[in-house]
Structure 1
Amino acid sequence: MIRVLFVCLGNICRSPLAEAVFRHKVKQIHLDHLIEADSAGTGGWHIGNPPHKGTRDILKQNNISFDGIVARQVSAKDLEEFDYIIAMDASNIENLKKIAKQFPAAKVYRLMDFVNQPLIMDIPDPYFTGNFEEVYQLVEQGCTHLLHFIINQHEELKQKK
């Protein structure tokens, strides 16, 4: 099983949105038995809460399930157990690097790293901007490219696709 963890600040806007979008894409190509997605926040303010209403609304508009997604805080154990740690912005990368010092093998990326010539590298936090549509578009683009990248990195996925 290939495990992907999406990380943002509070785990109620961007990372649960990315988790839901990525799970949806993986399921569409029938690889959900081989690729697992989860999300977490670098902060613990929202632990146990569902995604933000704006995140839920944009997912509903796009017919994407967010069943079972609740906020949690990223742990050092996550950096050991997940194959890909995908942060939403540079600030989250820095926070993850502090945790990752003990796990130098952890694969930590920014979601937009997978997009060829993205307009922006950091996905803005809609908790502050209110622009969930913009964030959805960026996450959708990033998740599409991330999934292609992962498939190309794993021979067993190429064969199943």
Structure 2
Amino acid sequence: MVKVIFVCLGNICRSPMAEAIFSHLVAEAGLSDQITIDSAATSPWEIGKTIHEGANERLQALGIPTPKHVARQLDIEDIKADYIIGMDEPNLRAINYLIGARPSGEVNMLLHYAGEETQIADPWYTEDFDTAFSEIYRGCQALLAHIQSRHSFNQDAPSI
């Protein structure tokens, strides 16, 4: 089982959008029973809140189911993930600080997998959920391709 966790500042915009988009792509690939997906925050500011309405509206407009989501902070169990994916440099620094040295796994910004070192701007501040969605979608497609190239999956396994 491959574990992926998406991380942003508050866990109400970018990381739950990435969780929903990646879950959708993983389901389309028939790998839902072989890849677990979650999201978390680096800060405690939004703990307990649901996904931002702008993020939710953008996902729904494109027919991507939104997860039943309650914002939470990155915890000790999360650092065991195979892939910890940050949305920008400040969050990547916070992730690395929180997890310290760990024996395995990858910690990168999402667009790294698309060959870019671009940060995904926080739509909580910019109100630009369209650009955030587009960048997150592109990053999630590239991340899935990366994971598929590095792991052997049972393609005959039924999807959940």
So what's the TM-score if we normalise by structure 1? 0.92
Match of 1:137 among 111, 134, 138: 134
Amino acid in the other structure paired with 2:30: H
Q: CA-atom RMSD, angstroms?
A: 1.5
Distance 1:147 1:102 in 2: 25
* Other-structure match for 1:105: 104
Aligned residue pairs, count: 157
Could you list the structure 1 runs, at least 4 aligned residues long, displaced by more than 6 angstroms after superposition: none
- State the AA in 2 paired with 1:127: W
Q: Which runs of 5+ in 2 are unaligned?
A: none
Match of 1:153 in 2: 150
Shift of 1:100: 1.9
Determine the structure 2 residue equivalent to 1:13. Answer: 13
Q: 1 or 2, which has the higher helix percentage?
A: 1
Q: CA contact under 8 A between 2:34 and 2:153: conserved in structure 1? A: no
Residue in structure 2 matched with residue 75 of structure 1 by the alignment? 75
- Residues 160 and 154 of structure 1: CA distance in aligned 2, closer, same or farther (over 3 Å): farther
Match of 2:37 in 1: 37
TM-score normalised per structure 2: 0.92
5+ residue gaps, structure 1: none
User: Amino acid of the residue matched to residue 134 of structure 1?
Assistant: T
Q: Do the aligned residues in 1 keep the contact of 2:16 with 2:67 (CA within 8 Å)?
A: no
Question: Cα distance, 1:18 vs. partner?
Answer: 0.2
Deviations 1:51-92 (A, max 9, x none): 001000000111111131221100132112x11000001111
CA contact (8 A) 2:6 2:16 kept: yes
Shift, 1:49, TM fit = 1.2
Relative distance call for 1:57 and 1:126 in structure 2 (3 A) is same
Deviates more, 1:95-104 or 1:30-39: 95-104
Amino acid corresponding to residue 72 of structure 1 in structure 2:
R
